[in-house]
């Protein structure tokens, strides 16, 4: 009897690929986008979607606790390693910088708008953080957003808000709810067709907020040795996105040493006078109370995965030279003391 089909890479007779994803509306939507692109370049293959609720979806543990980070990804990665799924589509922002042995991220699609946005409570007339009265409550569970808010808007209060995007908007709009506004990623709202809830886009020049590493991009995870999928993803990949997010993740990996850093970034491709393109990265590390910052802006020659990752290390070193190491060590000390 013939051996059963080998699910692993080198098997060129593979026709069916299984795509793993969380079961949230946003995750399914993002998975559909990847499958649609793959079908365009590989019309001869079939793609099946395997969705599941992850521990992160079920957990009530504070999202800011870095130890929960892997809850979003680990169970799906086990399926990937076993060969039960062939591809996982993540929000890249939720993917830890160190992946399990045998797993890797492939080229990814063009990034959605990577900025944070301000979302005012339904019926509010305020259109910026500046306009809110002192003591107004901003909903966010992100240490990065909390630290940047403490630095730029010390008059405002920050309170945790959990759940998927729909849940958070409902908590914002609740008549007796505490929140005046939320800070969310533009990408999630835009992909869910909730762009009309965006009051204001925030960036280094507007409101001063930098975004999370990988925000707005998809993380497409595959088995390292799966040559067939590497090739397929290289056909749908958007190089400028792939390189930019590799550089951002390399920066975070270099800085964090295992903890989730209050790190904001902003990357853009800029044309030089010589007609070349450079990757410009702004990055900021802020102490949780907003009292100390380290910030840099660096341009890099980036045209490959390797140069992207090296550029991330360069930016990390520049941040450390500006005092980022001291801020991160203080956060680590507080964490250790409280755990
Ligand atoms: N941390 C949760 C999360 N993970 C990805 C997104 C949005 C989409 C993205 O950034 O790609 C969000 C929600 C948010 O921060 O508003």
Structure-token pair, residue 77: 């990665």
Residue with tokens 């500046």: 130
Q: 270 exposed, middle or buried (CB, 10 Å; 0-12, 13-18, 19+)?
A: exposed
Are both 86 and 134 inside the same structural domain? Answer: no
Nearest CA to ligand 1 atom 1: 94
- What is the chain's mean pLDDT, rounded? 91
Let me know if residue 210 belongs to a domain: no
Provide, rounded to the nearest whole percent, the portion of the chain with pLDDT above 90.
Answer: 80
Q: Using 50, 70 and 90 to split pLDDT, how confident is the model at 59?
A: low
Two structure tokens written together for 55? 């521990």
pLDDT band at 155 (very low <50, low <70, confident <90, very high): very high
Task: Report the atom number in ligand 1 closest to the C-alpha of 92.
Answer: 11
Nearest CA to ligand 1 atom 5: 91
Q: Are residues 83 and 221 in the same domain?
A: yes
Question: What is the average per-residue pLDDT within 301-312?
Answer: 98
Whole-number pLDDT of residue 1: 45
Instruction: Indicate whether 228 and 83 sit together in one domain.
Output: yes
- Asked whether the CA dihedral 114, 266, 165, 130 is positive or negative, the reply is negative
Phi, psi of 306 (to 5 degrees): -65, -45
For tokens 């002192």, what's the residue? 134
d(CA 328, CA 144): 12
Domain annotation covers residue 251: yes
C-alpha 215 – ligand 1 centre gap (Å): 7
pLDDT at 184: 98
Q: Is 98 found in the same domain as 225?
A: yes
> Nearest C-alpha to atom 8 of ligand 1 is from which residue?
188
pLDDT confidence of residue 5? 46
pLDDT higher than 90, residue 159: yes
For residue 229, what is the enclosing H or E element?
helix 227-236
Domain that holds residue 102: 16-108+217-237
Burial of residue 177 (CB within 10 Å: 0-12, 13-18, 19+) is: middle
Task: Tell me how far the alpha carbon of residue 185 lies from the centroid of ligand 1, in angstroms.
Answer: 5
3 within a domain of the structure (yes/no):
no
- Residue from 27, 54, 93 whose mutation best tests the ligand 1 pocket (most atoms within 8 A of CB): 93
Q: Whose CA is nearest to atom 11 of ligand 1?
A: 216
Q: Please, how many CA atoms are within 13 Å of residue 56, restricted to the half-sphere of its CB?
A: 24
pLDDT at 284: 97
pTM, entire model: 0.92
Place of tokens 């730029």: 152
333: nearest Cα among 287, 285, 283: 287
Give the residue-averaged pLDDT of 153-163: 96
Helix (H) or strand (E) holding 32: helix 25-41
Q: Which residues are catalytic?
A: 94
Q: Are residues 64 and 121 in the same domain?
A: no
pLDDT digit string, tens, across residues 186-203: 999 999 999 999 999 999
Pair 174, 54 in one domain: no
Q: Is the pLDDT of residue 127 over 90?
A: yes
Q: Whose CA is nearest to atom 2 of ligand 1?
A: 94
Pocket probe mutation, ligand 1, options 24, 118, 184, 185, max atoms within 8 Å of Cβ: 185
182, 221: one domain: no
pLDDT exceeding 70 applies to what percent of the chain? 90
- 195 C-alpha to ligand 1 centroid (Å): 14
pLDDT tens-digit series, residues 25-44? 999 999 999 999 999 999 99
Provide the pLDDT for residue 69. Answer: 52
Which pair of tokens denotes residue 137?
């409550």
Q: Are residues 64 and 35 part of one domain?
A: yes
pLDDT at 66 (0 to 100): 45
To test the ligand 1 pocket, which listed residue (57, 91, 212, 265) has its Cβ within 8 A of the most ligand atoms?
91
pLDDT at position 9, please? 44
| Domains: count for the chain | 3
pLDDT at 175: 94
Cα 162 to Cα 216, 256, 323, distances in angstroms: 19, 24, 32
Query: From the alpha carbon of 141, which atom of ligand 1 is closest?
Result: 1
Q: What is the pLDDT of residue 72?
A: 73
Which residues' Cβ are closer than 6 Å to ligand 1?
91, 93-94, 184-185, 187-188, 215-216
Contact criterion met (CB below 8 Å) for 295 and 315: no
Residues 34 and 161 in one domain: no
The CATH number for 319's domain is 3.30.160.40
CA-atom Rg of the chain in angstroms: 21
Residue range 215-260, pLDDT digits in tens: 999 999 999 999 999 999 999 999 999 999 999 999 999 997 545 6
72 and 102, same domain (yes or no): yes
What is the per-residue pLDDT for 58?
66
- Token reading at 206: 């507007």
222 domain residue, yes or no: yes
């Amino acid at each position: 009897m013939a051996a059963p089909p080998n699910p692993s890479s080198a098997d060129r007779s593979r026709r069916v690929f299984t795509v793993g994803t969380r079961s949230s509306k946003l995750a399914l939507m993002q998975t559909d986008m990847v499958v649609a692109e793959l079908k365009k370049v590989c019309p001869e293959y079939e793609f099946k979607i395997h969705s599941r609720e992850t521990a992160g979806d079920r957990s009530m543990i504070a999202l800011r606790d870095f130890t929960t980070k892997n809850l979003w990804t680990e169970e799906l990665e086990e399926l990937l390693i076993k060969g039960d799924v062939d591809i996982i589509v993540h929000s890249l922002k939720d993917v830890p910088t160190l992946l399990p042995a045998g797993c890797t991220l492939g080229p990814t699609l063009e990034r959605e708008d990577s900025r944070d946005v301000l979302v005012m409570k339904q019926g509010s007339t305020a259109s910026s953080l500046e306009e809110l009265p002192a003591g107004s409550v901003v909903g966010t569970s992100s240490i990065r957003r909390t630290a940047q808010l403490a630095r730029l808007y010390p008059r405002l209060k920050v309170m945790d808000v959990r759940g998927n995007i729909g849940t958070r908007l409902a908590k914002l709009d609740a008549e007796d709810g505490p929140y005046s506004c939320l800070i969310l990623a533009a990408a999630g709202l835009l992909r869910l067709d909730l762009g009309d809830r965006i009051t204001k886009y925030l960036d280094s020049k507007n409101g001063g907020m930098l975004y999370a590493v990988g925000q707005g991009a998809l993380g497409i995870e595959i088995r390292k040795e799966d040559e067939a999928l590497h090739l397929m993803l290289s056909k749908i990949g958007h190089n400028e996105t792939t390189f930019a997010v590799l550089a951002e993740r390399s920066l975070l990996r270099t800085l964090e040493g295992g903890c989730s850093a209050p790190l904001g970034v902003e990357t853009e491709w800029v044309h030089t006078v010589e007609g070349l393109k450079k990757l410009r990265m702004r990055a900021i590390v802020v102490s949780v109370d907003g009292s100390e910052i380290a910030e840099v802006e660096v341009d890099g020659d980036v045209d490959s995965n390797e140069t992207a990752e090296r550029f991330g290390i360069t930016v990390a070193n520049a941040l450390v030279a500006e005092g980022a190491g001291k801020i991160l060590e203080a956060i680590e000390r507080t964490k250790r003391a409280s755990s």
